[in-house]
Amino acid sequence: MKNLFYTIISETEDLALLVVDNTGVLFYASLGRSASSLVEVMLKDFKNTQLYRLNSLKSASSKLVSGKEMVSINETLDKYRQIMKDAGAVDKNAISIPIKIIFGTPLQRKVWDFLIQKLPYGTTTTYLDVAKSLNMPTASRAIANCVGANNIALVIPCHRVIAKSGKLNGYRWGVDIKKKILQEELGDGYSTLIK
């Protein structure tokens, strides 16, 4: 069983719960405003995984004997803090965070890979356009469900996918958080792209 370590960070009024391994690879990231609800959802998400054991980073830091491992974890946490703090000023494509996707169906993973590779910082797309790009033009509802099942907030940029009408609709971590992220990323372009 592989040990994973979770911690909650904050650079704004929003919180992020991150799960990393001992080398700093990011396995999970969720957003919210309540630490207890973030932990509750994380435990639910990991409930059926038999391969991983979750440990609080605070209580586990003494068990991480290699200084190099702690440096790697801290680098990942610092990069994620930077994404949260400076969304409007920093090109997130320049901040590489190593990730490992451990959840999801083959279709969900295909959608998430598409978002990572084809949806750069400062852009948006629609569920329909993602469906068309994946040669599934009639599956925009299925694509929306895949986007909504993402477990690595911000790094897999599901917040950049909007409705065909230009409106913000569902977001796993709340439409208000999605709006804030997009306002920071898009700057003045927000009002022309989002209805």
Show me where the domains of the chain are located: 2-94, 106-193
- Cα distance between residue 92 and residue 182, in whole Å: 13
Q: What is the mean pLDDT of residues 8-28?
A: 90
How far are the Cα atoms of 27, 42, 56, 80 from residue 17, in angstroms, in the given order? Answer: 11, 8, 11, 10
Please report, as a single letter, which amino acid is at residue 144: A
- φ, ψ of residue 77 to 5 degrees: the values are -60, -40
Active site residues: 158
Instruction: Collect all residues with Cβ–Cβ distance below 8 Å to 49 and sequence separation of at least 6.
Output: 102
* Per-residue confidence (pLDDT) for residue 50, from 0 to 100: 87
pLDDT of residue 67: 58
Query: Could you report the per-residue pLDDT of 112-163, keeping only the tens digit for each?
Result: 999 999 998 889 999 999 999 999 999 999 999 999 999 999 899 999 999 9
Query: Do 152 and 45 contact (CB within 8 A), yes or no?
Result: no
Residue 31 predicted with pLDDT over 80? yes
Query: Crossing angle of helices 106-118/140-148, nearest 10°?
Result: 80
Q: How far, in Å, CA of 165 to CA of 77, rounded?
A: 36
H or E stretch at 27: strand 26-32
Using an 8 Å Cβ cutoff, are 125 and 166 in contact?
no
pLDDT (tens digit per residue) in 37-71 = 999 999 999 998 889 999 888 765 555 545 566 77
Residue found under tokens 């004997």: 65
What secondary structure letter does DSSP report for 159?
G
What is the CATH code for 106-193? 1.10.10.10
pLDDT of residue 96: 80
Whether 93 has a pLDDT exceeding 80, the answer reads no
pLDDT at 74 (0 to 100): 85
Close Cβ partners of 112 (under 8 Å, ≥ 6 residues apart): 101, 104, 146, 150, 152, 156, 158
pLDDT tens per residue across span 101-124 = 999 999 999 999 999 999 988 899
- Note whether 141 and 19 are within 8 A (CB): no
